[in-house]
Structure 1
Amino acid sequence: MNPVYFFLVASVLLNTLGQFFAKTGAHGMVVTSWLGSVTHIFTTPALVMSAACYGMSLFFWVFVLSKMEVSMAASFFSVSYLLTVLMGVIVFNEPACTTRIAGFLMILGGIYLISTRA
């Protein structure tokens, strides 16, 4: 297997994990001032983990872009949106309404169409 795919999958998974930590860290956050928000971000372990995941995801993403067409890489990166929707429904008990499911299926179809060569 081409190592670029390992880095692509790692970037997608780290981005999704970053979303998880961001949501977890933002839970119960009360924004009273700009400085208070910044302090909360830098002192909440889940938000620090979120930033670390996003940073590692970016590192891998730049490597992927150096080896792969951006149209192919970006279409596969959309899997992160799908994983985030699933995580929201499963982990955070967010509603799985009809429009959300339709959007989920459209993204999945778009990934398929872009990844096929004409």
Structure 2
Amino acid sequence: MTAADNPCIRCGACCASFRVDFARAELQSEGGCVPDALAVDLGGAACRLRGTDHAPPRCAALVGRVGERVRCAIHEWRPSPCREFGLRAPLGLGDDACDRARARHGLPPLPH
């Protein structure tokens, strides 16, 4: 699958549906890759991607219109929950969580 064929490039529903918590160790200031400015401190060892705790959630790093064309402004530096999303599905697309996110935005499920 090429990047142009990847339905995630047009979707972004996951980035505008779920809260994203991750370990503080993933922050740039802690030696990780996630930009500190995009993190909300939850105390202790946890952080949350900015915007994902809003109602409705939408990651502050998501650029574009859900269901049409989107991109992650920090794709190379995204935290582990984003990297792991959809890994259980074939090609990493169209698992149950993906289906729920797409439904929240009026999008049909991807073929499994």
Task: State the TM-score bracket (shorter-chain normalisation).
Answer: under 0.3
Specify which structure has the higher proportion of strand. Answer: 2
Greater Rg by CA: 1
Length-normalised TM-score, structure 1: 0.25
Specify which structure has the higher proportion of helix. Answer: 1
RCO higher in 1 or 2 (8 Å CA, sep ≥ 6)? 1
